[in-house]
Amino acid sequence: MEHVSFTFSIRGISRTCSHQLVRHRIASFSQQSQRYVDMQDFKFIVPPLISKNKEAEQVFLETVKYIKDRYLQLKEILEKDKNLDKEKLNEDLRFILPQAVETKIVVTMNVRELFHFFSERLCYRAQWEIRLLANKMLALCKEVLPSVFTFAGPKCKRLKFCPEGYSPQEAASGRKSCPLFPKRGS
């Protein structure tokens, strides 16, 4: 499990998702640079919670358009400066880019780290985008090594109980932590 590794070329995820991904330290990452890549025509990810509410989606799209317009305005202002260090332009402009900006990243993980990644990121309580990515990665791993990755999945699958805690709001509403397994002692 230590010496077999998988490399994934990932595109179409948000910077929010990539920030969660790079928290898995026993992996190698090469991410698209916002410093060297001109981001003036950036694409972005709209979360499902927002996209299924037309009014919320409209506000989200207006907000991204506003940010994009301000980004271009700021770039135009800075480019008028005769003393501008052009190499520093994108470096500083990226400060106003939203976390919804689409990015690309190449990730290499060995099998042991993939099992850990899947145990954490396939959990029902994981954020939707990283969970979606983890499901796609697991499907690819199962194609290559089905006998090994048959045992991969959220940690509750291995433990046979949900180790995640309840927030006070969830406990008050009666919401279950995990649809697969009960919480230990339940």
SS3 labels along 4-46: CEEEEEEEEEEHHHHHHHCCCCCCEEEECCCCCCCCCCCCECC
Q: Helix, strand or coil for residue 180? A: coil
Cα gap 104→44, rounded to integer Å: 12
Cα gap 186→184, rounded to integer Å: 6
Catalytic residue among 121, 158, 175, 184: 121
184 is catalytic: no
98 phi and psi angles, rounded to 5 deg: -75, 160
The residues that are catalytic are 121
